[in-house]
Structure 1
């Protein structure tokens, strides 16, 4: 994809810098965020470039462990709308193997969750990405699932799409 020349204000460049810096290695699409940041940095000129580079020099993060294989499998399944076989460790330390149909991602309090239809439980479930030991993509197509419907009745019932993504929302 190509974009026409885009001019960012210094504040917009700073916002992009901070937002992309917050994408840790264990976050979904972290690799794509890194390459997008490189492309954005290459396209910013003038005062916006200076502001973004100065701010970037003052941002540090603590590395978070993240299994790239799990993250890649989740990203692939979401994009292709296919099922996944997960080896999962719940909050109590109990291991299970589940086949799930991914519906979306949820971020809360610095953690990422895969929201999916669990074929084992025959219900919507949230799976913390850092608790997924392995994720194997399956060739089976997943049923289209309504993310909001899967969240209803859970602690994440009030979850909303971040306003920054409104421009990417499907047209009504």
Structure 2
């Protein structure tokens, strides 16, 4: 068993035992590795944000909060192949690319049988030219959207004009392979779209933004007919 699969297996063992805790010795026996290896793996899970914790004292060990983790997801071969193809299209310039990569690793580690074989076979047939993207800018946009905070941008428009903007993010628009941050621009006092690859710098201010209606900001623009992608539509309120 490789380490990725073992990390996934540790989470599922702790989920199955919850709310009880399991000792390092029990986990080491289950995965046929040393207690030192298990201890290192559990520390890795903690650092990755998995809600595992050490329970001190007699009868203690390690436990997990089952309400903040997902149970195993059983995919068909077609579903596994579809996810593989979709994740292959995620490059450095795509919002939440880092989270997509870790999700891909977890999905791969959890799959067995025909689904796993189909995904791995398809993955071996997909190649991509690396895209250039500024990780700091992408992270700032992601955090601003997730936390609903004001963002300060340095932006160059299609005509080559550079400007500094203070914006209140409302959402993301994807069109023709490009990603746009849709936001209320305080500088222009209107809704605007900012192509991510034209943002030269992005800095979070920490200031809470007013809630903005994405559809309202798109109204009257070239993207007025934008709809939720079919795969995401069932998730949207």
Same fold by TM-score, threshold 0.5 exceeded? Answer: yes
1:139, distance to aligned residue in structure 2 (A): 1.6
- As a proportion of its length, which structure holds more helix? 2
For residue 142 of structure 2, what is the aligned residue in structure 1?
75
- Provide the residue aligned with 1:117 in structure 2: 184
Separation in structure 2 between the aligned mates of residue 2 and residue 143 of structure 1, nearest angstrom:
31
* Alignment partner of 1:159 is 2:226: yes
Tell me whether 1:138 sits opposite 2:205 in the alignment. Answer: yes
Q: Return the alpha-carbon distance in structure 2 between the equivalents of residues 140 and 3 of structure 1.
A: 32
Residue of structure 1 equivalent to 2:118: 51
Q: After superposition, where does 1:87-126 map in structure 2 within 5 Å? A: 87-126=154-193
Q: Does 1:60 align with 2:127?
A: yes
1:37 aligns with 2:104: yes
How much does 1:163 deviate?
Answer: 1.6
Q: List alignment gaps of at least 5 residues for structure 2.
A: 1-67
- The structure with higher relative contact order (CA 8 Å, sep 6+) is 1
Cα distance in 2 for partners of 1:70, 1:138 equals 13
TM-score, length-scaled by structure 1: 0.97
Whole-angstrom CA distance in 1 between matches of 2:162 and 2:72 = 50
Encode CA deviations 1:67-122: one digit per residue, 9 max, x unaligned: 00100000000011000000001111110000000000001000000000000111
Considering only CA atoms, is the larger Rg found in Structure 1 or Structure 2? 2
DSSP-derived class of the 1:164 partner: coil
1:23-61 deviations in Å (ceiling 9; x for gaps):
111110000000000000001110010000000000111
Detail structure 1 runs of 4+ shifted over 6 Å in the superposition. Answer: none
Aligned residue pair count? 170
TM-score, with length taken from structure 2: 0.71
Is 75-84 or 161-170 further displaced after alignment? 161-170
Gaps of 5+ in 1: none
